[in-house]
């Protein structure tokens, strides 16, 4: 079943809702939608969990306002979905860009209604390099990508996607993945890239105490594995699980281990 949640700013956010049990809320990466979690959507309800896949504003079936693609606004949208669906004791899972949005929610709302945090190849604590942060893309590289999005968005996204997987997907998988990406709003895609370029979560991490599991591919060319080393060091209650043979798209490169690690975390009362 699907829900359209009206926010206070009259934006409709779509949430796919499948199964029963403890809710697991999935936030997708840039520039995709909740459909990227198909292989978790198929699996989690069989094990007694309620899959909730949210389309962030500008993506999938959600409304597409021109503005509001900063992490604060995205976290506020998420808060309204959680409140209006009355979700409790939920696990919040964020992939890539969904990772920093999940972290911002946790710092902004003090873990309200969330009992565990799952970070999947997260684009955090920062996506781009700084003088005191030598990891990720140069800001100028993101600027170039933004310029390309303005002139030939399908080609820019397809080229970006070539770095996504370590294990080469089938032609059909690539077409499916690209179709998700190009179906997103053009301005939402651009404005989210600006947020990825500029946002910084380092000062928020020490206050996020929820049990956190981080899954990250060691061969990730989009969000370097170093990101998660930083997170594991700075989050008070985090465990990092490396995927030796995976790039950014761990869910495709090592799917069995990926789902096994997710389910173990959901079923366990600790990080061990």
Catalytic member of 96, 121, 184, 192:
96
Burial class (CB in 10 A: 0-12, 13-18, 19+), 84: middle
Contacts of 74 (CB under 8 A, 6+ apart): 56, 57, 68, 101, 104
Residue 168 DSSP one-character state: P
Q: At what angle do helices 186-198 and 139-161 cross, to 10 degrees?
A: 130
In what side-by-side order are the strands of the sheet with 90-95?
2-6, 12-18, 49-55, 22-27, 90-95, 114-120, 212-217, 238-243
Choosing from 220, 246, 252, 253, which is the catalytic residue?
220
Contact 228/250 with Cβ under 8 angstroms?
Answer: no
Q: In the annotation, is 216 catalytic?
A: no
Active-site entry in 28, 34, 248, 252: 248
Give catalytic status of residue 220 as yes or no: yes
User: What tokens were used for 173?
Assistant: 């998988």
Helices assigned H by DSSP within 162-224: 171-182, 186-198
- 96 catalytic residue (yes or no): yes
Cross-strand partners of 22: 49
Query: Which distant-in-sequence residues (6+ apart) come within 8 Å of 26 by Cβ?
Result: 34, 37, 40, 51, 52, 53, 54, 93, 94, 95, 98
- C-alpha span between 249 and 255 (Å, rounded): 9
Question: Which residues have a catalytic role annotated?
Answer: 96, 220, 248
């Amino acid at each position: 079943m699907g829900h359209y949640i009206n926010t206070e700013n009259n934006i409709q956010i779509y949430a796919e809702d499948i199964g029963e049990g403890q809710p697991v809320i999935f936030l997708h990466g840039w520039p995709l939608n909740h459909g990227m979690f198909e292989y978790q959507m198929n699996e989690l309800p069989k094990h007694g969990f309620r899959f909730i896949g949210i389309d962030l504003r500008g993506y999938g079936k959600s409304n597409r306002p021109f503005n509001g693609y900063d992490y604060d606004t995205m976290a506020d949208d998420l808060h309204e979905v959680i409140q209006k669906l009355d979700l409790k004791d939920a696990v919040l899972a964020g992939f890539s860009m969904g990772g920093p949005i999940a972290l911002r929610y946790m710092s902004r709302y003090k873990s309200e209604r969330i009992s565990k945090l799952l970070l999947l190849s997260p684009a955090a604590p920062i996506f781009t390099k700084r003088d005191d942060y030598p990891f990720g893309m140069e800001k100028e590289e993101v600027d170039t990508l933004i310029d390309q999005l303005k002139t030939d968005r399908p080609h820019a996204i397809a080229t970006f996607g070539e770095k996504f997987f370590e294990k080469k997907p089938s032609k059909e998988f690539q077409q499916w993945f690209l179709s998700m990406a190009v179906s997103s709003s053009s301005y939402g895609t651009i404005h989210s890239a600006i947020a990825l370029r500029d946002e910084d979560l380092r000062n928020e991490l020490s206050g996020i105490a929820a049990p956190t599991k981080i899954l990250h591919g060691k061969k990730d060319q989009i969000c370097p594995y170093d990101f998660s080393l930083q997170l594991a060091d700075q989050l008070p209650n985090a465990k990092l699980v490396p995927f030796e043979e995976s790039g950014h798209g761990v869910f495709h490169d090592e799917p069995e281990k990926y789902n096994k690690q997710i389910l173990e975390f959901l079923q366990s009362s600790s990080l061990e």
